[in-house]
Chains A and B, each alone.
Chain A
Amino acid sequence: MCLAIPGRIVGLVPGETHLGTVEVAGVRRKVDLGLLLEEMPVVGDWVLIHVGFAMTKISEQDALEQMHLLQMLGETEQAMQEVRGYGFEETGEQSSGNPQPN
């Protein structure tokens, strides 16, 4: 339950309107988009994630700053552990640990 984690939407799950695939520092996981019904994100958008749910859309700049903040607070490892731990069905993982957007 650490501070919110920034991620980029890389895919929407067909047939399951409330699920999206996000990428956080190279790791891809499904998150629930049900709290963003009023302004559904599209592929390429950045969001802040808390306990497996996208809470709010943010800018790419803010996403990078949030990553930096987690790093300064010594919470990056914990955040990545949380993201990897999301137990929705896995959607493949990339090896890069780079938080930069493409």
Chain B
Amino acid sequence: MRYVDEFRDPELIIKASEEIYRLADPDRHYRIMEVCGGHTHAIYRFGLKDILPSNIELIHGPGCPVCVLPMGRIDDGLTVATNFDVIFAAFGDMMRVPGTQGSPFEHKARGTDVRIVYSPADALQIARKNPEKHVMFFAIGFETTAPSTALTLMRAKSEGITNFSVFCNHVTIVPAIRAILDSPDMRLDAFIGPGHVSTVIGCRPYEWIARSEGKPVVTSGFEPLDLLQSLVMLLRQLRAGEARVENQYKRVVPWEGNRAALKAMAEIFQLRPYFEWRGLGFISQSALRIRDEYAEWDAEQRFPIPGTRVTDPKAAQCGEVLKGVLKPAQCKLFGKECTPEHPIGALMVSTEGSCAAYYNYEHRKAAMVTSISSVA
């Protein structure tokens, strides 16, 4: 078994893997979705597929914030920054994501003031230091990140910093799961629930998946043993014909979530009636906008937003891969036109994107094996 000896508890890993073999019905094919991009990265990195029975198929979900952002939103943010001489501040993950007129980095090379920040609070700090300029924070992320943006906006208001705004692209995970369950080409048996999103929202918001859809959910940590234990818990439920929400990641995830974080989000944000997701289309009540009380800090209310809509290049199959209908390597552009060096879709940019994860671990490994065997 590859990598097993570098794990902290090799014996426990082997035991968990044996338990999975014991629980999995050989006559059944299991399709289990890991919702979170961090899990996708870990699953490829640890080569978990190699220690699982072949009838357990892990489907990669939509939980990569950069990947689900439609290109039009990137275009809109960069257009505002360029036309209004605004400092465009965003996380490093955004910098290489292609827009129709190029990525944020390419805009920087052409003269737009683009800055990498590691925290929304850093973007506010840039505004404090540059009172003559306007700083727009291009916010992305699920409920893990949205509370930090909310607190930053509260600080901006209480300090009266008005040369700062947020271009809000925060999305919520549960409606995306619902959209996937509703899509007719998708059959799933169970979910590995997101780890860090759940520290904020807790486990309750997943209960309908068990209750109304009859699918078990286990919120999981990110270590190999966490993921294997979560699979054991899911398989036990499936075997017993049960569907419940369980929390494997108790050491970090409180069942009720983080009340202070939820309160900050509720104060600053409200649900948009609908929002476009890359690959999943428009999903109702799936994204956050800034409340009118904070209009002064809302880039969408302060600046004219073009509202660009872009259809992805026809050959790019990011949508199917995002929904888990296709595996990364089944996209026609994978490893050819689209590579981490020259990404066409965002799934190839972020380390949490399944195309990048697949390319960096599986594809490179396969390429190495081919070149070694051709030498031999």
B91 contacts A1, CB within 8 Å?
A: yes
Chain B: which residue is nearest A68 at the CB level?
A: B8
B260 contacts A34, CB within 8 Å?
A: yes
The yes or no answer to B63 lying at the interface (CB within 8 A) is no
Interfacial residues of chain A within 80-102, with CB under 8 A of chain B in the complex: 81-83, 85-88
Interfacial residues of chain B within 66-99, with CB under 8 A of chain A in the complex: 91-93
> Complex formed: what's the CA distance from A47 to B203 in Å?
20
Q: Which of B121, B148, B258 has the most CB of A within 10 A?
A: B121
Q: Which of A7-15, A20-28, A48-56 contacts B (4 or more CB under 8 A)?
A: A48-56
Shortest C-beta distance, A65 to chain B (Å), equals 7
The yes or no answer to A38 lying at the interface (CB within 8 A) is yes
The yes or no answer to B324 lying at the interface (CB within 8 A) is no
Q: Give 1 or 0 for each of A47-81: 1 = CB within 8 Å of chain B CB.
A: 01011110110110010010011001111000001
Chain B: which residue is nearest A73 at the CB level?
A: B45
Q: Which of B112-120, B160-168, B271-279, B286-294 contacts A (4 or more CB under 8 A)?
A: B112-120
> Complex formed: what's the CA distance from A72 to B141 in Å?
24
Chain A: which residue is nearest B42 at the CB level?
A: A73
What's the tally of chain A residues with a CB closer than 8 Å to chain B? 35
A52 contacts B92, CB within 8 Å?
A: no
Q: Which of B122, B200, B252 has the most CB of A within 10 A?
A: B252
Query: What residues on A are CB-neighbors of B264 within 8 Å?
Result: 34-35
Shortest C-beta distance, B28 to chain A (Å), equals 31
Query: What residues on A are CB-neighbors of B151 within 8 Å?
Result: 18, 32, 34-35, 53
Query: What residues on A are CB-neighbors of B6 within 8 Å?
Result: 72
A37 contacts B125, CB within 8 Å?
A: no
The yes or no answer to B110 lying at the interface (CB within 8 A) is no
> Complex formed: what's the CA distance from A53 to B260 in Å?
12
The yes or no answer to B332 lying at the interface (CB within 8 A) is no
The yes or no answer to B21 lying at the interface (CB within 8 A) is no
B252 contacts A56, CB within 8 Å?
A: yes
Shortest C-beta distance, B96 to chain A (Å), equals 13
Query: What residues on A are CB-neighbors of B144 within 8 Å?
Result: 50, 55
Q: Which of B41, B46, B151, B264 has the most CB of A within 10 A?
A: B151
B259 contacts A38, CB within 8 Å?
A: yes
> Complex formed: what's the CA distance from A85 to B122 in Å?
9
Range, interface on chain B: 35 or more
> Complex formed: what's the CA distance from A48 to B198 in Å?
13
> Complex formed: what's the CA distance from A1 to B92 in Å?
8
The yes or no answer to B126 lying at the interface (CB within 8 A) is yes
B196 contacts A3, CB within 8 Å?
A: yes
Query: What residues on A are CB-neighbors of B93 within 8 Å?
Result: 1
Shortest C-beta distance, B245 to chain A (Å), equals 19
Chain A: which residue is nearest B261 at the CB level?
A: A35
> Complex formed: what's the CA distance from A48 to B145 in Å?
13
> Complex formed: what's the CA distance from A86 to B151 in Å?
16
Chain A: which residue is nearest B66 at the CB level?
A: A1
Chain A: which residue is nearest B119 at the CB level?
A: A52
Shortest C-beta distance, A28 to chain B (Å), equals 15
Q: A1-B93, A3-B222 are in contact. Are A32 and B121 (CB under 8 A)?
A: yes
Given contact pairs A35-B148, A53-B148, A85-B117, enumerate 6 new A-B contacts (beta carbons under 8 Å).
Answer: A3-B38, A52-B118, A72-B46, A73-B41, A81-B118, A82-B118
Interface of A toward B, CB cutoff 8 Å: 1-4, 18, 32, 34-38, 48, 50-53, 55-56, 58-59, 62, 65, 68-69, 72-75, 81-83, 85-88
Listed by A's residue number, 22 A-B pairs whose Cβ atoms lie within 8 Å are A1-B93, A18-B151, A34-B260, A36-B260, A38-B259, A38-B260, A48-B199, A50-B144, A55-B144, A55-B199, A55-B200, A56-B199, A56-B252, A56-B254, A65-B223, A69-B222, A72-B46, A73-B41, A75-B351, A83-B118, A87-B126, A88-B122
Interface of B toward A, CB cutoff 8 Å: 6, 8, 38, 41-42, 45-46, 65, 91-93, 116-122, 125-126, 141, 144-145, 147-148, 151, 196, 199-200, 222-223, 251-252, 254, 258-261, 264, 351
Rank and list the top 6 A-B pairs by shortest CB-CB distance, nearest first: A52-B119, A87-B122, A85-B118, A37-B260, A53-B148, A34-B151
